[in-house]
């Protein structure tokens, strides 16, 4: 179990106030990590930070627009200033509306790409600098099952997440020999605000969505957090450039 021990390590987690970001922050903190929480809204960041502190770990909330390269660099600078280093980066921030391809404006298309793919590019490059100086680090990119299938109602989001999968491999090829492992998790239907809001918008029962996978239920944010723990810890020391599909298993239709 010492392979999963994160004592003395510092993790930056984007989208850290809610959903899988919050779940990942709590799981990493339970295993010893101090965390820097990034997101656009202060209130959920502060709430998650208090939960982390209750576990006996340090937490610093940093309101951040991850689509802004300068904001990404500032986030990394705060982490280094507060803790002296960055060991783990969890690129979790993301999301998008759902609507047909013809209804997307050019600005909306670019916005989805910047949030879901651009943020991974900017933050990974910024965090890689202190990691390379330290000779060790782990980057975990949160992708989506949408990246692996045709998604006509979420085409920009699916395309951006497919880019995350590819970028994960490219960064792993560039940095693994220098000590930075880069992996991704393609997340299926998880009980998070984005899925619940979409279900309500379309009059769908979120529990029925979960029944489509092999497990027959929605995933919980902390379950994704344990996948993040695997890639962030020494338990995955021989693993880099991989995309793990965590979606509850193939359903009756085989997908």
pLDDT tens figures, 112-166: 999 999 999 999 999 999 999 999 999 999 999 999 999 999 999 999 999 999 9
Domain ranges of the chain: 2-246
d(CA 61, CA 152): 36
Q: Which of 243, 143, 147, 157 is nearest to 198 (CA)?
A: 157
- Cβ–Cβ < 8 Å for 200, 156: no
Q: Which two tokens stand for residue 195?
A: 């899925």
pLDDT tens figures, 173-212: 999 999 999 999 999 889 887 777 777 777 888 888 888 8
Q: Which two tokens stand for residue 202?
A: 């379309």
Residues catalogued as catalytic? 157
d(CA 12, CA 131): 12
Q: Does the predicted model carry a pTM greater than 0.75? A: yes
Which one-letter DSSP state was computed for residue 15?
T
CA-CA distances (angstroms) from residue 251 to 162, 210, 212? Answer: 22, 10, 6
2-246 folds as: Rossmann fold (3.40.50)
Mean pLDDT of 213-220: 91
Continuous segment of H or E residues that includes residue 121: helix 119-134
């Amino acid at each position: 179990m010492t392979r999963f021990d994160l004592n003395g390590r510092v993790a930056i987690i984007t989208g850290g106030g809610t959903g899988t970001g919050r779940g990942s922050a709590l799981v990493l903190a339970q295993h010893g990590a101090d965390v820097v929480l990034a997101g656009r809204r202060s209130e959920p960041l502060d709430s998650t930070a208090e939960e982390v502190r209750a576990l006996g770990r340090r937490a610093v909330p940093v309101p951040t627009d991850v689509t802004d390269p300068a904001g990404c660099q500032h986030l990394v600078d705060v982490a280094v200033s507060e803790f002296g280093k960055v060991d783990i980066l969890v690129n979790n921030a993301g999301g998008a509306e759902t609507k047909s391809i013809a209804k997307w404006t050019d600005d909306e298309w670019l916005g989805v790409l910047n949030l879901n793919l651009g943020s991974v590019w900017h933050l990974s490059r910024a965090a890689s600098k202190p990691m390379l100086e330290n000779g060790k680090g782990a980057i975990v990119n949160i992708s989506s099952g949408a990246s692996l299938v045709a998604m006509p109602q979420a085409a920009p989001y699916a395309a951006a997440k497919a880019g995350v999968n590819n970028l994960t491999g490219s960064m792993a090829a560039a940095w693994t020999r220098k000590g930075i492992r880069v992996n991704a998790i393609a997340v299926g239907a998880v009980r998070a605000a984005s899925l619940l809001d979409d279900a309500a918008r379309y009059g769908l029962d979120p529990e029925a969505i979960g029944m489509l996978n092999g497990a027959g239920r929605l995933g919980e944010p902390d379950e994704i957090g344990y996948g993040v723990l695997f890639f962030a810890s020494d338990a995955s020391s021989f693993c880099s450039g991989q995309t793990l599909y965590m979606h509850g298993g193939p359903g009756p239709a085989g997908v």
